[in-house]
Structure 1
Amino acid sequence: MKLIHTADWHLGQTFHGQERHAEHKAFLAWLLETLVAREADALLVAGDVFDVVNPSLRAQELLYDFIVTAHERLPALDVVLIAGNHDSGNRIELPAPLMRRLRTHALGRVSWLEDGNLDAERLLVPLTDARGETRAWCLALPFLRPAEVTGVGRVRPDDDEDNDRNDYVAGITRVHERLIEAARARREPGQALVAMSHAHLRGATVSEASERPIVIGGEESISAGLFPTDIAYVALGHLHRAQQVGETRIRYSGSPLPLDFSEVAYPHQVVEAVLEGEALAGVEAIPVPRPVAMHRIGPGDLDTVLAELEALEADPSLPRERWPWLEVRVSLSAPVPDLRARVEAAFEGHALRLLRLERRLPRVDGESAPERIDLEQLGPRKLFALTWEARWGEPPADDVMTDFDRLLQEVLDRPEEEGA
C-alpha cells in the first residue's frame, strides 16, 4: 500500500503580519492532485495542522474543504490527522464523528482508563487498501503535553525504572511503549505497523528561527530507539527541515512551505512510503512547488543591496497575493534615516512585497553594558546624544541634533488630549 506523509501545515499562519491563505490553498490543491495521481491509500498529517490553537474560520475552512474534496475524489482514502504543539487537541477532535464518515481520523489527545492504563485502542487506526482490506495499523500519537503524561496517576508500580529520568520524557516513553504493545497485539500476520508522532527526536536538526520549543529548556527530546525495527515507517512532525533520523524508515517530512525566511533554502516536500506486507519497500521525497517565491537580499552594504534589488525580476501579471515575499538585510556603517524609502525605491514598479527590513549596526570597540543613568537628571536631549554615540561610536552631528530638537518640541507642543 502507498502512504503520503506530510506535517506542519500551519494553516492560518501570518507572515510578518501578512496572511498566507493563497499559499496554503495552492499547496492543498497540489496535494490533492498528488494523492490522486499517485493513487495513495492513506494520507498521514503529523501535527501542527493549524498555526495557533484558535485558528481563523478561513483556516478551518481550508482544512475541511480539503477533506471533503479528497473523499469525493478518492472515496477509499484513509486520512489520519494528529494534533501538534501549535494545535488545540480538543479543536482537532471536535468534528471527529463527522470526519470519520469521510474516512478521516482526527486524534488530538491521549486518554487513560480507570485502571491507569493508556486507552490505546482509540489511537490505533486501520489503514486499508483499494479493496478495503486492512494492510497496516497507524499508531497515531498526538503531541503529548506534560499534564497528559506526568504525575502519580500516570505511573504504575512497574515504572520504577523511570524514576531517575526526566518525568516528562519518561511519560512520553511510557505512552509510546504501551501503544506499540497494543498494536503488536492487534495486528495480524502480514499487516504493517506505521507510527505517527509529533515530537522532537534527539539528534535531529532544528530550524534556525521558526520552531517553537515544545518545553522550555529543550528537555522534551526523545530517542529514535523508541521505535523498534518491527515498525515499518515512522512519520514525524514538528521539525520543519525534511530529514531522516538515523534510518530511512524514521523521517520528518518537514513543512510544505517555508515558515520563515531562514527556511528558504530547505527542501520542502511530502514523502511517499510504499509498504509491502509488514515491511517498508521504498521511500520517495516529492518536492512541493512553491506558490509564492521568497527572496533574501543581503546582508551587505547599502549600495550592494540596492543593486541586488534593482536586478530582481518579478512577473507583473501575477495577482498581488502571489507576489514574491522579500527580506532585506543591510549592514550599516553610519545611520541612514531614509533607509526604508531608499530600499522601496530600488524595486518600485516591481511585483514584490517587502516583509522585513533588517538593519545590521556596527559594533563599537569595547562596547559593554551601559552604566546606570538617572534619566530625570539627564534629560531627553542628552540621553539621545549618549545613545547615538554608544551606537555609532561618535557624537551626533549638528543637523541630527537640530532634527531631534524639532521633533522634541513638536511632542512638547502637542495638546494633552491628543497625546493621551
Structure 2
Amino acid sequence: MSQSSEIGTALHHHGTDHVMEANEQVRRMAAELAGRCESRVNQLARELAERHFAVIPNYADLPEDMRDLEMAGTARHAIRQFLQTAAGAPTSEDDFRLFRERAAQRAEEGVELTTLLRTYHIGAEVIWEALCDAARPGEEPALLWLARHQLRGLNRTVIAVTEAYQAEQSAILAEKREAYQEVARALLTGETAHAIAARNGIALAPAFLVLNLHVAGTPPHGETLGAGVPISQIIERRTLRQVRARLEGFTDVPPLTLLDARGGHVLLPLSAAERMPELGRLLASIGPGAEQIIAGAARTEGTADVPRAADQAVRIARIAQSTGRPPGVYELDDVLLDYHLSGQADSGRALAALLDPLDEHPELVETLHAFLDHDLDRRRTAQALAVHPNTVDNRLSRAAGLLGVDLQTTRGLMLCATALTLRRLG
C-alpha cells in the first residue's frame, strides 16, 4: 500500500472514531436530560389525565377505578419506561405486556380503538414538553436524539396496542357470532331459546321473518384455486359473508344466522316483512355470485313457530329455484299453486283464502264457478246464469282485479280452479 493510501485510511478511521464519539456524547447528554425528568413522573401522569379529560369524550364518566387506577397507573408506567430507556435501560418485548393487557381490557369494555390510541399520543406530547422544559442551552442535539427515540418507541407501542386490541375484538366478535348462531340453532330446532339468549345478552323478537337462502353455484369449467378448492365454493362463501354483513344493518337488531357455503337460515324480526321489496333489492345487489341467490321467506306467529316457518321457507326456496324463477325473495303467495301441487298440506288454507276478496261479491264467485264448469265458454256460462255474455266478461274482469290474478293465463285459471275446489271441500 502506498504512503498516501495509508494516510487516507488513517484519516478515515480517525473521522469515524470522531463521529462515534460525538454520537456517544449526544446519547449521554440525552440520558442525563431524561434522568432529570424522572422525578416528575407523578406530576406528568396527572397532567396527562387532565388532558384526557379535556379532549376525550365522556372521560369523566368512566368508572373511577378505570380512570384513576388503571389508566393513571398505565400512564406512570409508560412515562417511567420511556425515560428509563432514554437513559440507557435495555428494552424487551415484555416492556409492552401491560400495554397489551390494557388494550385487551379496553376492547372488552367497548372503548374505541381511536380513543385508546389518542391517549398514547397525548402521553407522547406531555413527555416531549417535559423534555423541552428540562433542556438546557446546548442540549439541542440531545433533544433531537430523544425525539427520534420517542417516535420509534411510540410506533412500537401503537403496533403492540393495536394488535392486542384487534385480537381481543376478533375473539369477542367470534364469541358473539357463535352466541347468535346458538340461539338461531335452538329456535330452528324447537328448543327453548330464551335462556340461551338471556345468558348472552341477546334480545329475542316476539316473532320472526325466516329466510332460507339458496346459493346455486356453478363451477366455471371445474376450475379450482390453491389446494383444490373450487372457485364456485369461494364465490359462494364470499357471497354469504356479504349477505351476513348487509343483513346486519337491515334491522335495528342483528339477525340470527345459521349459514354455510350452500346457504342456510336467517331469522329477522317480523317487522322486516314490511320491507320485502327493499330486502329483495338488498340481496340482489351484493356482488359476484349474488345473481344466484334465491330466498324463501315465511312469517312466524311466535318463537315456537320458527321450525314450521323454517321448513316452509326451505320448500318455497326449493320450488322457486326448481321452477326457474329469477333471483329474489319469495313468500308462499308467490309460489302458491306449485307449492300446493307439490303435496304440501299446509298450503290448503292459504290457497282457499285466495278467494277471500270475493266474499262480498257472491255473483262473482258464482260466475267464476260457472265459467270453469262450462270449460271456459262464455256463451254457455251466460246461458247457465241467464245473463248476457258481456256481463260474464265484466264479472270475470272484476274478479281478476280483486284477486290480482290474470284469468287469461293457464296458471291464473289453475290457481282459481284449485282454490274453488278447496272451498267446495271445506
TM class, shorter-length:
under 0.3
Which structure has greater helix proportion? Answer: 2
- Which structure would you say has the larger Rg? 2
Query: Taking structure 2 as the reference length, what is the TM-score of the superposition?
Result: 0.24
Query: Taking structure 1 as the reference length, what is the TM-score of the superposition?
Result: 0.25
Higher relative contact order, structure no. (Cα contacts within 8 Å, ≥ 6 residues apart): 1
Which structure has greater strand proportion? Answer: 1
